[in-house]
Amino acid sequence: MKIYKVGLPFIGMSSLILLMSPLANAAEMSHMDHGSMDMSGDMSDMDHSGMDMSGDMSDMDHSGMDMSGDMSDMDHSGMDMSGDMSDMDHSGMDMSGDMSDMDHSGMDMSGDMSDMDHSGMDMSGMDHGSMDMSGMQGGEPPADARSPDYSNGVPYGEHGKPVMMGSLPLWGVSVDDLGYQFEEDQINYEFDTWYGTDSNRVSLRSEGSIQTKDEKEIDSLTSLSYWKPLSIFWNGEAGIAYDTENDKPAVMAGIVGTAPYFIETDARAYVYTDGQVRLDLGAEYEWRLDQHWVVIPEVELTAFSKDDTDNNISKGFNELETEVRLTYETLSRQLAPYVGISYETALSDARDLRRQEDEAVDSSSVTAGVKFWF
């Protein structure tokens, strides 16, 4: 039996030849011209699962490839296309054939295909009906996504869907003064009601006094006006009014709001049918002692544009009224009984007119009453 000894150089050369063979095949594919390849026949049973396209195919030209045949059953699941295909030209490829059953599920296309030209590819016969695009933007939301209205599928119940409060018409009633003056034996009142939104309202306001003795006269000034904000702290009013003391209607316009240091201020002008103009100015401040006790000083001035001796009215400032009330707020500050002291005096020529009618020029009284709103 003969024993042949093979040297290490021979083994090394053999291994080098075996390794170079696949490299040479890959190099040849980089310059392959597929321009004249005709793939229009029936390739439905072709199996590309073992094709290795990981080499450099950047210069491959597919512009003339005709793929219009039936490739519905072609299996590309094992194709490796991870190589460099950035310069591949597919502009002339005809893919109008039936490729509805082609399986590309296992294709590896992780390579560089940024420069591939597909501008001329005809894919009119491809069926995308079963493609799942739910993960793309605009598709179906995930099962755990929050509802757009944050309800999470919970119904709103008997009250319905909530809306912004600013867009709903609301109403309110505020009775700022409902009290009795002991010295004058009369009831003073002042209230304001409104209906509308934060931008537009209709307001009904009235203030006056009711005598509780003798003729029991009622002196009141009532106005119906349109209310609208003018700025952050000021609101405008315009409407019509009626004065029972003069027994005359008037056109009214005014500005009400909050002056610096939180002083509630109002200024209203009334133009009567006979040309008389009345101006009412008022200011009120709430001095809060604690969460319930509040001291409220208030002052009011009344002026007229011309004399009216029949109603004891003189030109200029006619009357000054002041009052200080101590209130106790209860029921979420919606109800506040009070006690206080009021003082009233005539000004300028109005003092002489009152003396001529045997009316008091100055008067003061203890008052008690309640203010509330709802």
pLDDT per residue over 7-26, tens digit each?
444 444 544 555 555 555 54
- Which backbone phi and psi does 312 adopt, to 5 degrees? 55, 45
| 27-66 pLDDT per residue, tens | 454 445 554 455 555 555 555 555 555 555 555 555 555 5
Q: What is the CATH number of the domain that holds 264?
A: 2.40.160.40
- Residue 6 in any domain: the answer is no
Least confident of 84-88, 180-184, 297-301: 84-88
Q: How far apart are CA 230 and CA 235, in angstroms?
A: 5
The pLDDT, as a whole number, for residue 177 is 95
The pLDDT, as a whole number, for residue 123 is 60
Supply the pTM of this predicted model: 0.58
Tell me the pLDDT band of 96, cut-offs 50, 70 and 90: low
- Residue 302 in any domain: the answer is yes
- Which backbone phi and psi does 15 adopt, to 5 degrees? -65, -35
- Residue 232 in any domain: the answer is yes
Helices (H), 290-340: none
* Residue 364 CB contacts under 8 Å (≥ 6 apart), including other chains: 183, 341, 342, 343, 344
Bin 28: left if φ > 0, else alpha if -120 < ψ < 50, else beta. Answer: alpha
Average pLDDT, the chain: 77
The pLDDT, as a whole number, for residue 216 is 80
Structural domains of the chain, count:
1
- Residue 327 in any domain: the answer is yes
- Residue 354 in any domain: the answer is yes
- Residue 30 in any domain: the answer is no
Q: Which domain holds residue 355?
A: 168-373
CB 286 within 8 A of CB 294: yes
Name the residue with higher pLDDT: 110 or 262: 262
- Residue 35 in any domain: the answer is no
pLDDT, average across residues 181-207: 94
The pLDDT, as a whole number, for residue 22 is 52
The pLDDT, as a whole number, for residue 10 is 45
Percent of the chain scored above 90 by pLDDT? 45
The pLDDT, as a whole number, for residue 263 is 97
The pLDDT, as a whole number, for residue 21 is 54
Least confident of 143-147, 217-221, 312-316, 327-331: 143-147
- Residue 312 in any domain: the answer is yes
Closest CA to 359 of 318, 323, 324: 318
